[in-house]
Amino acid sequence: MNTRLHKALRNPVVAGAALIVVGIVAVALLAPWIAPHDPAEQFFDGLTLEGMPLAPGGQFLLGTDLLGRDLLSRLMFGARTSLLIGVVANGIAVGIGTLLGVAAGYAGGVTATLINRFTDLMMAFPALLLAIALAAIFAPSLWIVALVIALVNWVWVARVIYAQTAALRKSEFIEAVRSLGANWPRILFVHIVPHLVPTMLVWATLGISTTVLLEATLSFLGIGVRPPTPSWGGIIFECQSYFLDAPWLVFFPGAAILILALSFNILGDALRDVLDPTQRGKS
């Protein structure tokens, strides 16, 4: 597996994606020290005489937003919001999905039917609309947004984990372990769950891309993370009306969202190739 990992990283696209993720994580962690300005400070010289945002260049490298705040600094702090929500929400989603998938797959019978019907039901809701309904009901904050995203994103994980657990439960080696007298916690945690780790890892990576996009979309619709916390989708939401005169206010945060989501997609796909050889070259 290590050699396969090395081989995957030798692909320039995958290596580039890995480098970008490391870079964005570093920027998010170091934001308070490397950001050129305070992201919340409204600079007196941050607007033109007509009250318009400043174009990129000069003192404000990427320009300023509609309140005269430094865009680069806001983007750096926005990386924290995106990554934090991406990792936390996706982590919870993978957790819920694994728990329900394993429960349904291992218990079988009525439990499986109940859990699977519930999963089907959740799939009938478009994730974004359900998230909107939930976010409109609860006053959104960073953690509510993360929770809402997790509550609509676990279904795919549950599906995949269920199928794998159900197949494993019927496999010969599990039967052998059972006939040796192992009790169910031992069968489950020592013999089944380790086989699910690759799938969980793939979803933990791929899912971040979905989560980041969903957070950005909720913030763009005005029901995501509350200002003044900078968020990439939120910056575009705030600046949308200035867009035709100050397009950099959309281009830079938009590019940031795109690059982050793209990198996690490429990494997750590569990870799936490494961990699951049967899928290689197909998807």
Residue 45 phi/psi, 5-degree rounding, is -95, 20
Query: Using the 8-state DSSP alphabet, how is residue 68 labeled?
Result: S
* Comparison of 43 and 251: residue with beta carbon closer to another protein: 251
Among the candidate windows 58-66, 76-84, 103-111, 215-223, which touches another protein by CB under 8 A?
Answer: 215-223
List the end-to-end C-alpha distance of the chain, in Å, as a whole number: 20
Residue from 20, 52, 128, 182 touching another protein (CB under 8 A): that is 128
- The rounded distance, in Å, linking the Cα atoms of 52 and 132 is 32
Among the candidate windows 47-55, 63-71, 72-80, 218-226, which touches another protein by CB under 8 A?
Answer: 218-226
* Comparison of 109 and 281: residue with beta carbon closer to another protein: 281
Q: Is 63 helix (H, G, I), strand (E, B) or coil?
A: coil
Residue 70 β-bridge partners: 64
Residue from 39, 68, 101, 233 touching another protein (CB under 8 A): that is 233
Number of residues that bind another protein (CB under 8 A): 46
Q: Is 60 helix (H, G, I), strand (E, B) or coil?
A: strand
Residue from 1, 49, 110, 124 touching another protein (CB under 8 A): that is 124
Among the candidate windows 25-33, 56-64, 84-92, 257-265, which touches another protein by CB under 8 A?
Answer: 257-265
257 lies in the site for another protein, by CB under 8 A: yes
244 lies in the site for another protein, by CB under 8 A: yes
Query: Which residues contact residue 54 at a Cβ distance below 8 angstroms, ignoring those fewer than 6 apart?
Result: 46, 47, 48, 60, 63, 64, 68
Token pair in block for residue 145: 């947004």
**Distance of CA 57 to CAs 35, 104, 106, Å?**
16, 57, 59
Contact residues toward another protein (CB under 8 A) are 13, 117-118, 120-121, 123-130, 132-134, 136-138, 209, 213, 216-217, 220-223, 233, 236, 240, 243-244, 247, 250-251, 254, 257-258, 261-262, 265-266, 269, 281-283
